[in-house]
Amino acid sequence: MKAQKKLGQNFLINKNALKKIVGALEISDNDIIIEIGAGTGNLTQEILKKTSKVIAIEKDKSLVKLLKLKFENLSPSLQIIEGDVRDLLPLITKKIRNFKIVGNIPYYLTGYLLRLLQELESPPSLIVFTLQREVAERIAAQPPHMNQLAAIVQLWTYPEIIFYLKPKDFLPPPKVHSAVVQFQVKSSAERFKNEKEIIQLITRGFKQPRKTLLNNLSRGFDKNKIKKVLERLNLTEKTRPAELSVEMWITLFDYLNS
């Protein structure tokens, strides 16, 4: 069957890359794999070689029809669900445990989807996303090049760029390069009960990234207290948000709220 571009999708056709993505999922016997945007089923096919527990989500009706025809003999192993992942994920994940998530995520959906996953009552243990290269590198950034997205994502996961992809690896070829990112989700013991409030602090701290942390935070905290906290952290009044690691944001939150 000839693949066509649907809903902005570019289908990965590089077989070695597909196998590497499956390897990055580190599939064990009890894992359920949720695939976001199954498309023409190229990745689905590779995942099914490693596990018989796959939930494939696809929004495009014609692609859902294609998937059902392609995998009609594998219905006990593969559940194909038509719909928007933004609506379906919270519902599906309430009913299952020991699941991992994989998908080729379009630029416009990346930030929203990561926020949705961070807020799930029952989070995945691991996520593997194919993302626009620029977005992937922003997520994996370290001080002094941190950004709001990186700080928030690294608060609840350990992201790592596994490998890069070229436009020719997809059909049709996109105009941008891509990267595959593995997100090891932190365990409940590693995550913080004040995670939501820490994210609010990070968001406030990056309100105007080029301005100092002191300037950005002074709208919500006493300026003298901020100065004292910065001194305790061996930071100066000229420190900018991009210079802080995730650990420093957590300590900053603790000090400002003590």
Specify the pTM.
0.93
The answer on 225 and 105 residing in a single domain is no
CATH number at residue 99: 3.40.50.150
For 168, residues 6+ apart whose C-beta sits below 8 A from its C-beta are: none
Q: What is d(CA 169, CA 180) in angstroms, rounded to the nearest whole number?
A: 12
Residue 49 lies in a domain: yes
Q: What does the block give as tokens for 242?
A: 């991009």
Structural domain count of the chain:
2
Does residue 68 fall inside a structural domain? yes
- Give the domain range for residue 66: 11-185
Asked if residue 131 and residue 112 are part of one domain, the reply reads yes
Both 154 and 224 in one domain: the answer is: no
pLDDT band at 74 (very low <50, low <70, confident <90, very high): confident
Position 3 in a domain:
no
- Per-residue pLDDT for 77 more than 80? yes
Please check whether residues 34 and 120 belong to one and the same domain. yes
Q: Does residue 2 lie in a domain region?
A: no
Asked whether residue 165 falls in the same domain as residue 213, the answer is no
Q: Measure the CA–CA gap between 209 and 147, rounded to whole angstroms.
A: 8
Residue 6 has pLDDT above 60, yes or no: no
Residue 141 and residue 202 share a domain:
no
Cα dist from 241 to 38, 118, 136, whole Å: 38, 22, 19
Phi, psi for residue 205 in degrees, rounded to 5:
-65, -30
Q: Measure the CA–CA gap between 97 and 125, rounded to whole angstroms.
A: 9
On whether both 36 and 58 belong to a single domain, the answer is: yes
For residue 232, being part of any structural domain is answered with yes
Q: Which of 138, 164, 185 is the last residue of a domain?
A: 185
The reply to whether 149 and 219 lie within a common domain is no
Q: Confirm whether 219 is domain-assigned.
A: yes
Among residues 158, 185, 212, which one ends one of the domains? 185
Residue 193: the pLDDT is 86
Beta-carbon contacts of 74 under 8 Å, excluding residues fewer than 6 positions away, are 48
- Rounded CA gap, 28 and 233, in Å? 42
> Of all helices (H) and strands (E), which one includes residue 130?
strand 126-132
pLDDT recorded at residue 4: 40
Q: Which of 154, 129, 156 is nearest to 143 (CA)?
A: 154
Give the mean pLDDT of 174-180: 96
Do the beta carbons of residue 126 and residue 25 sit within 8 Å? Answer: yes
Same domain? 63 vs 142: yes
pLDDT category at 8 given cuts 50, 70, 90 is low
The answer to the question of residue 6 being in a domain is no
In whole angstroms, what is the distance from residue 258 CA to residue 253 CA?
9
R_g over Cα of the chain? 20
* Co-location of 226 and 164 in the same domain: no
Tokens of 220: 């919500």
Taking the C-alpha atoms of residue 102 and residue 181, their distance in angstroms, rounded to an integer, is: 10
Question: In whole angstroms, what is the distance from residue 112 CA to residue 202 CA?
Answer: 17
Structure confidence at residue 212 (pLDDT):
96
Q: Is residue 190 part of a domain?
A: no
Greater confidence (5 vs 200) lies with 200
Pick from 151, 185, 219: which residue ends a domain?
A: 185
- Mean pLDDT, the chain, rounded, equals 93
Closest to 255 measured CA to CA, from 234, 216, 190: 234
User: Is residue 73 domain-shared with residue 91, that is, in the same domain?
Assistant: yes
* CATH number of the domain bearing residue 225: 1.10.8.100
pLDDT tens, residue by residue, 104-136: 999 999 999 999 999 998 899 999 999 999 999
Same domain, 133 and 213: no
Spell out the residues 6+ positions from residue 142 whose beta carbon is closer than 8 angstroms to its own.
150, 245
The per-residue b/e assignment along 30-41, b for 16 or more CB within 10 angstroms, e otherwise, is ebbbbbbbbbbb
Q: Is the separation of the CB atoms in 104 and 78 below 8 Å? A: no
Distances (CA, A) of 55 to 81, 110, 214: 7, 20, 47
pLDDT tens for 181-219 read 999 999 989 998 899 999 999 999 999 999 999 999 998
As a whole-number percent, the residues of the chain with pLDDT over 70 amount to 97
